[in-house]
Structure 1
Amino acid sequence: MENLTMDATDMSRFNAFSIISVGYKTVGDHTITADVLYPKTLNDSTQQHKSPSGPRPVLLRYHGGGLIAGYSLFPPFFSPWYLELAQEYSAVIVSPNYRLLPESSVLDVLEDVEDHWHRMHQSLPALLQRETKGTVEADLRRIMTVGDSAGGYLSLQMALNHPDEIRSVNAVYPMVNPKASYFSSGEERPVFNLPTYPLDTLRLHLDYVRRQEAVMQKPVIVSAAADAERFRLMFAACQHSQLGQNFPEAPITPYLLERLDAGARFPRGGVLILHGRDDSVAPVTESYALQGKLAQVDPNLNFRLVVRDGEHGFDHLAKLHDNWLCDAIQDIVRSWLV
């Protein structure tokens, strides 16, 4: 917990990138933003001879945080190897925020990322033209979705939404099945080595939110939150297996496995899942369940699950050219770039 709050303001990992922040949606009077990052070398006149020409591929990246915490540029949740990947191929990263639970619903989250998809296609070319004076262009025909934890869940969801427009997919220790007992049983379980937070942490927070809404006469909306109280809320929901209880019962929309059973399919360029064998936040068994489901309904998909020793977040120490990672990503990168 201390590391999350201590590192929250250390933006040094983004030093090699120019960042454009822009609103893409307004709900009531609340603006939801997205960040566009591109290597500074693309906009540096002294480096133009070294920079590739033409429109650049796009990494569409979704942040983690259990759908409860974090934001698009929260440093501890932004895997360094994604930044290395963007530098390696002079790619543009697009990283949207979205409404967070429990103030909003998971259907609101999915609506936001879908609205962002359409807004990105409408406005990103003009945004880059204006902000970079035409020196940086994005190739929206070459999109790879990426994300870890809750961001991995959203990466997979968007890939099912747009299988013909997204080249390939990466998800790292994703939440695959919110209905699994690990996420929804209400049973207590250890998460990292954290102290156990009270069972009623989530309920008390929601009670406070409802009182705020009654006073203000409007919904409370949160789309970026990374303080200690918010992380206690996130970890309490994980420790007491409550996250899945925030998902609706009826619609198949939030459920990846049900969507696959109903005929949804991933992009033909391939799907790569990376998962830690010792994950105490999102169990690796659920990624194996996704692998099994795809073997049944889409056996020809280029799907790869790479399981490594380590906890949730194990890849944050990885380097792009580490042998195991370089080998793991080669197929999805090739599909992304061709």
Structure 2
Amino acid sequence: MVKERLVSTRDLECYIFVPKIKPLTSLLTARIIELAALHKAIIVCPDYRLLPESPGLDILSDLHTFYTWLHTSLRSFLISSFSDSRPTSDLSNILITGESAGGYMAIQSSLLGETKGVKAVIAHYPMIDLQDPWYSIPSHKEIFNQPPPSYPPGWLDAQLKVARTAAPVTSRIPKEEDLDLFVALLQQGRYTEILGADSSLFPLENLKKVKEERKPLMPMWIFHGDKDSIIPIQGTWKFMEEVKRVFGEDGAGKVESRVVVGAEHGFDNDEVGLEVDWVIEAQEWLKEYWP
């Protein structure tokens, strides 16, 4: 672990996994570890600030800061921290991957210009269409087939008021008995509001800017379960439609998506290895671009 940035007296941490060194298995699925080991890749997992204590633009600031650190400091960190094994990093051969909100960050990385050395992006059930009514309009939403929890009157407003003056948060895993702040934001249609209004926060807007600035579209593979009750697959479908509309069939050829039929959010857990059909298909696609 390395402390990458200090924000409001709180460190933003970055976790490094080097093959043959004990992995941080609580942070990584077995499949990602297997893929890294197969290609002798180093995994770098950065923290970033979370909503609602920090607005969306702060989150993107952390994203850009991480890539600056990656390209200026990773090599020296590896030398000082792993002197026995002497690992080396190939920063001209980067694969970006993330799931859920991390999938959003992976896609945003490629669309916001953090493409130095990047060969491909893989996004697992990502948040993409954050202006969709799912995120911005109050409605009845059953998460994991559970009826909406009952929130006390004013509970969310009180939480958001506290968050405005709270220290930055980089990890939030509610206890089973606690009310879930993220679910409350979805149920009451406040997520888009809390994220912010700047166009750079929205992948669909950034997609258009990439085209306008005549920048290349990075090779991208997105997979999503059609039964996702937290981040609906419609966002991925809309992104794919926009890719084709903006870049045309030829320009969109490097961007692909796969629907995993019957799959819920987070379906690719540790029980899913490299031998599963949709993982095999993704690996075959990846061979064209990385490593």
- Give the TM-score normalised by structure 1: 0.76
Distance 2:287 2:127 in 1: 23
> Which residue of the partner structure matches residue 13 of structure 1?
none
2:202 matches 1:255: yes
C-alpha contact (below 8 Å) 1:191/1:238 kept by paired residues? no
> Which residue of the partner structure matches residue 81 of structure 2?
131
> Which residue of the partner structure matches residue 133 of structure 2?
181
Q: Can you give the 5+ residue segments of structure 1 that lack an aligned partner in the other structure?
A: 1-20, 44-72, 214-218
Q: Which amino acid aligns with 1:36?
A: I
Q: Can you give the 5+ residue segments of structure 2 that lack an aligned partner in the other structure?
A: none
Aligned partner of residue 35 in structure 1, secondary structure? strand
> Which residue of the partner structure matches residue 115 of structure 1?
65
Aligned partner of residue 128 in structure 1, secondary structure? helix
2:173 matches 1:226: yes
Deviates more, 1:269-278 or 1:240-249: 240-249
C-alpha contact (below 8 Å) 2:110/2:218 kept by paired residues? no
Give the 5 Å matches for 1:34-49.
Answer: 34-40=14-20
Q: Judging changes above 3 Å, is the alpha-carbon distance between structure 1 residues 74 and 247 closer, same or farther for their aligned structure 2 residues?
A: farther
Q: Which amino acid aligns with 1:263?
A: V
Identity of aligned residues (%): 28
Give the 5 Å matches for 1:72-221.
Answer: 75=26, 78-133=28-83, 135-160=86-111, 161-197=113-149, 198=151, 200-210=154-164, 213=165, 219-221=166-168
User: How many correspondences in the alignment?
Assistant: 278
Distance 1:241 1:78 in 2: 30
Distance 1:247 1:230 in 2: 23
Q: Judging changes above 3 Å, is the alpha-carbon distance between structure 1 residues 195 and 187 closer, same or farther for their aligned structure 2 residues?
A: closer
Aligned partner of residue 224 in structure 1, secondary structure? coil
Q: Which amino acid aligns with 1:305?
A: S
2:282 matches 1:328: yes
C-alpha contact (below 8 Å) 2:67/2:114 kept by paired residues? no
> Which residue of the partner structure matches residue 291 of structure 1?
240
Distance 1:230 1:116 in 2: 32
Distance 1:266 1:307 in 2: 28
2:1 matches 1:32: no
1:326 CA drift (Å)? 1.0
- Give the TM-score normalised by structure 2: 0.87
Q: Which amino acid aligns with 1:325?
A: V
1:220 CA drift (Å)? 1.8
Distance 1:174 1:241 in 2: 18
Structure 1 vs Structure 2 CA RMSD:
2.3
1:225 CA drift (Å)? 2.8
Distance 1:231 1:116 in 2: 31
Distance 1:312 1:256 in 2: 20
1:135 CA drift (Å)? 1.9
1:132 CA drift (Å)? 1.6
